Amino acid sequence: MKIHHLQPILFFSLVLSACDLPFPSNQSETQSSIEISWTSSTNESFSTSEVIEASASSSNLISSLNSLSSSESSMSSEPSILSSSETTSIAASSIIESSTSIGSSAPVSLITIPSNAPAYYQNISPTATGEALKSALDLLISSNIDVGYDWWRYESADESLTETNKVITIYPRRNYLKSAHVSGNAAATWNREHTYPQSKISGAALDDNHHIFADDWKTNSTRGNYRFGIVTTKNSTTQVKDSSNLVTDNYLAGGFFEPNDAAKGEVARATLYLNTIYGYAIDGNFQSNELAILWALQYPPTNRDMQRNNRVYDNQGNRNPYIDNRDYICKVYGLTSLNTRLACGLS
């Protein structure tokens, strides 16, 4: 363990001592005993196949998730739609042992690959917010696009950062040969996952690469048209297996599909994109509007996201703004609930 990882723990211990509180023995006690906001000097990260995914959280987010009210905040643009049990589930799943405050005014990102269209947003007003900004982004991203369902588009968009003859599959997070298109029930073959299910959309959205990802055929089939959400019971019964019968970090139970952490931000930002360009309801694909927005913020874009955004821009002609600029998430959707306000650092 690196020394800097001990900093928040030591600080936490000192505060507990000063307050004459017992040191909690588990995570739930930590939440109920005391709420402390801290920021470490570096981000902690973990590896998934080919990309580095780091998750950002803050105690403000955790405490707000625990105290979510069923009534609409007077300053919110729409009411919270989570039940108390759903709120508790999200709070429990949102405890990430690291890093930077989501509420920071600076964009939270893990991207080092540059955009291949740096002037793409030059006509978007930096002061625009809410529906005005959403309409401006819609106009921009819906202009001169060329969608398609050809295999080569997905071989390009989902190309592995480390093995250029392979794609990374969104749910298993394993690399498959680009040529290993699904054929019957063959193991380690892939098809195209509509993260917003085909049965719920139509027209150009059916072929829009920004929300369609390379995926193992079996995890794709298992996800089906279930909405993304929190699975409270995670065990061998609810854990999803891929076509090679290998367990993945995805779970299905209670009518919801919970993807691995690396995919959470991807599917959330893809859903916000579809909501902006086609008007499809966020909660048509998610347990709640709030959860999609929080995942989009809590699991920030990586080089995988930027490479994908660049490739889709080359092939399709438009970009996902919620990958390029985290502030757009907050400016368009930040007033959705008390928790999204806190996550965005909005007063």
Q: Is residue 10 part of a domain?
A: no
Q: In angstroms, rounded to a whole number, what is the distance separating the alpha carbons of residues 153 and 335?
A: 35
Q: Is residue 122 part of a domain?
A: yes
Q: Is residue 16 part of a domain?
A: no
Which residues of the chain are modeled with pLDDT < 70?
1-108
Q: Is residue 246 part of a domain?
A: yes
Q: Is residue 12 part of a domain?
A: no
| pLDDT (0 to 100) of residue 298 | 96
Q: Is residue 244 part of a domain?
A: yes
Q: Is residue 28 part of a domain?
A: no
Name the residue range of residue 258's domain: 37-151+224-344
Residues 128-154 pLDDT 10s: 999 999 999 999 999 999 999 999 999
Q: Is residue 24 part of a domain?
A: no
| pLDDT (0 to 100) of residue 122 | 98
Domain count, the chain: 1
| pLDDT (0 to 100) of residue 183 | 86
Q: What is the dihedral of CA 83, 85, 86, 88, to 10 degrees?
A: 120
| pLDDT (0 to 100) of residue 32 | 34
Length of the chain as a residue count: 347
Closest Cα partner for 173 from 151, 156, 158, 153? 158
Contacts of residue 249, Cβ cutoff 8 Å, sequence gap at least 6: 173, 260, 261
Contacts of residue 329, Cβ cutoff 8 Å, sequence gap at least 6: 269, 272, 293, 296, 297, 322, 344
